[in-house]
Structure 1
């Protein structure tokens, strides 16, 4: 009788475990179905190529930094294969050029490369069978040159990259990517980024979209979609509170708002441009953010939300939070984080982070070194 009772109890236990597993699987299927039907499709799955893995980046809610009663989302582009929004733009450039008859299959692409834009374009060219000639400045990081060559590109280092790239393309009859890039960027954001955002949010109304200025491609592309499909959404552009150039400190001394080392980060290392006439219809508000605030918020994103983004991501999130603090209850604010902090390790982003153990950490290490090792 005792043995029989034990067998019955064991059978009942197995049924309870199977029921819990079945319930969990059912809930997962329901959640996945709901996600794919409008609230943000599930990432992962099987892709035929690396290019197919570009896009569909997650939209993440800020649960610790957002003010009460307001939802703040960030669309994190670091989930692209090469860790930045530049993957989307590079693949879009090649796609646009093919669609508009400007690039034949197998034709060599020539472009002026700096940083993450280069690896994104190298990926797109390799997957679409286009040789790539990357022209880089003398001050470009050696690591980027190595990485470009590692991905199969030819790297030309020149005093004036723009002039050299144009001359090389003209001499050989190759495709110069600089010419169509503005149109291609706007096109890819209008055809993919904007619609994907609205589809992912589903019935949730987007009250504010926080956009970078940059070249204006995202602003105009996403802005065009929002004006047509979500006209109540206010579009706010985040910009630097001032625009020092690379020679500013030499000419004027330290800038009041921008640490000098930020010249290659959130501040511009190229000639700044104002918001052009083509972008003005898509701008409802302009938010100015200092370099120090951009750094502070980028660090807070890492420590509070577990989101490792760059200095521009800190600035865009700072703008989103400023809007959220002034927005009415129930508002929904979204911005885009362009990359990850892993490509900004040489910037001031990690300044102040100690490299040596603190007293508390040293005490923990000492306790571990004096304890007896367990017998094997």
Structure 2
């Protein structure tokens, strides 16, 4: 028995499965990496472990320190999990614009929560800027470590192992990697690794159709939690990206529901957007192609939203 292991050792090494029933005929194979197998049900656990471990090792975060961060939810739960396991305090800034499950999840790990008020429905650039400013103010207190995920390059390193897992699980047989952009850290981390193995692998970024700033559109309110901050994130590296696809909120939600009903994969809205974009690329690249995308988080994080609520789902 390995008695040194703790919950943090269960982060990573998630399954890669082929999608069969939501992929159109006569197009390439689409594979989904089940990142909701991480302990908080989100790929963000990888990033949180990397950031907190590195800050603790180099002294930016002292043993008695408090971690501070702004987050739409999944990052908050992931950071709170790592802080709980390592014995740090954490103060999270978020908003009621995000699902109640995500807010409750953070608090369950012992996070202190500050909510920023918003007038708009959905996620807007202004809301993100207000959350960032609130976190910055809290981080002015002594003995705090502000993660600042939009600017912290340690977040990218957290996804290098994810890239290596994809390369290993596909035996290097991968033509494209398709993934949505929030901070841009996960896309950049995975893309860096995959391109280092094979520069010909296509990297496809996904953003909300209502706020398609990466492809030259205007920012707008949308309802795909965790992506599309309304401006180009500082960690965005266009040199690593071959194409940007825009997916509308309604289409992403529809695909998420299809994944649950037809594949038995219960995931969030951005995962639906990822798969929809991946099927488009698989159609474009043809039957011999192999496309990988990520199931970013679990559908359990969205039960209070209209994504899976019984009264909003069609009855058959």
Q: Report the TM range for the smaller structure's normalisation.
A: 0.7 to 0.9
Q: TM-score, normalization: structure 1?
A: 0.69
1:123 aligned to which of 81, 101, 105: 81
2:7 is aligned to: 50
Do the aligned residues in 2 keep the contact of 1:219 with 1:279 (CA within 8 Å)? no
**Post-superposition offset of 1:225:** 1.2
- Of 208, 215, 225, which aligns to 2:176? 208
Matched, 1:189 2:180: no
How far the C-alpha of 1:163 sits from its partner, in A, is: 3.5
Q: Higher mean Cα deviation, 282-291 or 305-314? A: 282-291
Q: Which residue is 1:243 aligned to?
A: 211
Structure 1 contact 96–187 (Cα < 8 Å) conserved: no
The residue aligned with 1:62 is: 19
Deviation at 1:72, TM superposition (A): 0.9
Give, in angstroms, the shift of residue 69 of structure 1.
6.2
Match of 1:107 among 39, 48, 65: 65
Relative to structure 1, the CA distance from residue 121 to residue 136 in structure 2 (aligned partners, 3 Å threshold; closer, same or farther) is same
CA contact 2:42–2:297 (8 Å) conserved in 1:
yes
Computing the radius of gyration over CA atoms, which structure comes out larger, 1 or 2?
A: 1
Aligned to 2:192: 224
Query: Structure 2 CA distance, aligned partners of 1:357 and 1:211?
Result: 31
- State the distance in 1 between where 2:187 and 2:314 align: 43
Q: How does 1:141-160 map to 2 (within 5 A)?
A: 144-157=102-115
Is contact 1:265–1:347 with CA below 8 Å preserved after alignment? Answer: no
Contact 1:108-1:131 within 8 A present in 2 as well: yes
The structure in which a higher percent of residues are helix is: 1
Q: RMSD across aligned C-alpha pairs, in angstroms? A: 3.1
**For 1:218-254, what per-residue CA distance to the aligned partner results, in whole angstroms no more than 9, with x for missing partners?**
2221111122112121111112223199xxxxxxxxx
Is 1:263 aligned to residue 223 of structure 2? yes
- 1:72-111 residue pairs with structure 2 within 5 A? 72-111=30-69
> Separation in 1 of the partners of 2:175 and 2:98?
40
Q: Is the 8 A contact 1:73 1:334 kept in 2?
A: yes
Is this contact kept in 2: 1:149–1:155, CA < 8 A?
Answer: yes
What secondary structure does 1:349 align onto? coil
Report the alpha carbon displacement of residue 52 of structure 1 after superposing the two structures with TM.
Answer: 0.7
SS where residue 110 of structure 2 aligns? coil
TM-superposed deviation, 1:355: 8.2
Structure-2 change in CA distance of 1:321 and 1:180 (3 Å): closer
Q: 1:318 is matched with which residue?
A: 276
Number of equivalenced pairs: 296
Q: Deviations over 1:345-370 (max 9, x none)?
A: 23332367678987xxxxxxxxxxxx
Q: 141, 151, 161: which one pairs with 1:171?
A: 141
Structure with greater contact order relative to length (CA < 8 Å, sep ≥ 6): 2
Q: Provide the C-alpha distance between the structure 1 equivalents of 2:96 and 2:255, rounded to a whole number of angstroms.
A: 32
Gaps of 5+ in 2: 118-129, 214-219
Q: Is it true that 1:307 corresponds to 2:265 in the alignment?
A: yes
The TM-score normalised by the length of structure 2 is 0.81
Distance in 1 (alpha carbons) for counterparts of 2:301 and 2:100: 14
